[in-house]
Amino acid sequence: MKAVLQVQNLSVDFETQRGRLQALRDVSFSIDAGEIVGVVGESGCGKSTLIASLMRLLADNAILRSGSALLQDKDLLQISQRDMQALRGRDISVVFQDPMTALNPVISIGQQMIDIQHREQISKAEKRKRVINILEKVGIPDPASRLNAYPHEFSGGMRQRVCIAMALMMRPKLLIADEPTTALDATLEVQVLRLLQELQSEIGCSILFISHHLGVIAELCSKVIVMYAGEVVEYGPVSQIFRSPSHPYTRKLLECDPGRIKERSHVLPSIPGELPDLTQPPPGCIFRLRCDLATEKCLKQIPEAQAVSTDHWAKCHYAESAQ
């Protein structure tokens, strides 16, 4: 299948007072058409920087060191701001984490949704019809009567549905979902995931799904990108990564998943140590300092991606033997 998004060797630095912070280092992955790819990793691993780079919404102090991100032949990192603006919302779109703040509080829902179609050459009545149509699809009851409602008149779950409707209205090729269920409670989470799944199969877009909830990733995605300290440490199909993780970090991450903990314990498992200082990344393997398997080789040599099987690789010298 043809890749919708192909990211290669993406490296992004931030200029800070303490020096250059290497927020993303050599990130590569691809998303096929109609595929849902998950991104997991702890806070600060570069998930948000990845989204911001793809959307070209990085802060001013960010420096693109290298890399390309091809969205169907167009390099998102190289095209002009004007071209990028034309792509946003149309070919590539985002659903954000917190639905409570993702909508303009002083403009009615209907007005906001008509407004985002400002580039379309169609009549206002048609735009309105489209809005009603997509709101119905995301499960807002009686959408026509809700158009004049303001965001604060909706509950959190309903607002996230509205946000999803806004993101999908132009039928983008790629939807980036930035922890869209983190701010919702568990029952709503399931509903929103089902909704995303339904809409995805109907519209046929690809989704890059960011989350730190492993259960959600396992449920929704076909492939997973595991990130640690700005690097992709493992990439592969969901079933393989969850059943036989090849990178020690993935393994530790899975051990810490509350859904998988079998024994009762007073202390929840965690990964000892802390994230390395990315202004001065330690030599060798980035995970070495927290890894049980670390050897002399891990200090001397940065591990390359080791193929474990087709479409499954890990950046660890012992990826295969760890199986």
DSSP per position, 14-46: EEETTEEEEEEEEEEEEEETT-EEEEE--TTSS
Which two structure tokens, joined as six digits, stand for 266?
A: 């007073």
Total residues binding another protein (CB under 8 A)? 32
Q: Which is nearer to another protein, 118 or 262 (CB)?
A: 118
Among 2, 18, 118, 266, binds another protein (CB under 8 A): 118
Cα(189)–Cα(99) distance, rounded to whole angstroms? 13
Question: What's the sign of the alpha-carbon dihedral 252, 253, 256, 259?
Answer: negative
Q: Verify binding: residue 129, another protein, rule CB under 8 A.
A: no
Q: Which is nearer to another protein, 152 or 297 (CB)?
A: 152
The residues, any chain, with a CB within 8 Å of residue 79's CB and separated by 6 or more, are 87
Do residues 169 and 131 touch, judged by C-beta distance below 8 A? yes
| Interface segment toward another protein; rule CB under 8 A; list 92-100, 187-195, 210-218, 303-311 | 92-100
Q: Verify binding: residue 105, another protein, rule CB under 8 A.
A: yes
Q: Which is nearer to another protein, 149 or 293 (CB)?
A: 149
The SS3 of residue 307 is strand
Among 115, 185, 311, 320, binds another protein (CB under 8 A): 115
Cα(201)–Cα(35) distance, rounded to whole angstroms? 9
Fill in the amino acid letter for 98.
D
Q: Verify binding: residue 58, another protein, rule CB under 8 A.
A: no
Query: What is the DSSP pairing of strand 36-40 with strand 223-228?
Result: parallel
Q: Verify binding: residue 206, another protein, rule CB under 8 A.
A: no
Q: Verify binding: residue 130, another protein, rule CB under 8 A.
A: no
Residues 143-202, interacting with another protein (CB under 8 A) = 148, 150, 152, 163, 166-167
Q: Which residues bind another protein (CB under 8 A)?
A: 55, 57, 60, 85-90, 93-94, 96-98, 101-108, 115-116, 118-119, 148, 150, 152, 163, 166-167
